[in-house]
Amino acid sequence: MRKNKKNFVKAGKTILMSPGEMVRGLRELKEWTQVELAEATGISQANISAIENNRIEIGKHRAILLAEALNVHPASIMFSDYPEAA
C-alpha cells in the first residue's frame, strides 16, 4: 500500500526541557513525591531534588535508574533538550 503524504498531519514543535525538568514532569505525571521516586530508584531524595533543579548532572547510571522507575527510555531523559534538526 502506497502512503500519501497528504494524509499525514505535520507534527508540532517540540518543547525543550532540561533533563531535570523532564524528570520532574514524569514524576508528577505518576503523581509521585520525590521520596517515592527515591525509593523506586535508590537515589536519595536530596539527589532527586538536585537533579530536578539542575544542580547536578544526571549521568548515564542515574538516567537508567530513573527511566526504569518512570517507565520511559533513558534517552527521553538524557536528551530531552536535544534541538530539532534544521
Domains, the chain, with CATH or none: 18-78 (1.10.260.40)
What pLDDT, on a 0 to 100 scale, did the predictor assign at position 14?
65
What pLDDT, on a 0 to 100 scale, did the predictor assign at position 2?
65
What pLDDT, on a 0 to 100 scale, did the predictor assign at position 47?
98
Question: How far is 3 from 80, CA to CA, in rounded Å?
Answer: 30
* pLDDT under 50: residue ranges of the chain: 86
H or E element, residue 25 = helix 19-29
What digits encode the pLDDT tens for the residues 45-57?
Answer: 999 999 999 999 9
Q: Are 86 and 63 in contact (CB under 8 A)?
A: no
What pLDDT, on a 0 to 100 scale, did the predictor assign at position 21?
94
What pLDDT, on a 0 to 100 scale, did the predictor assign at position 52?
97
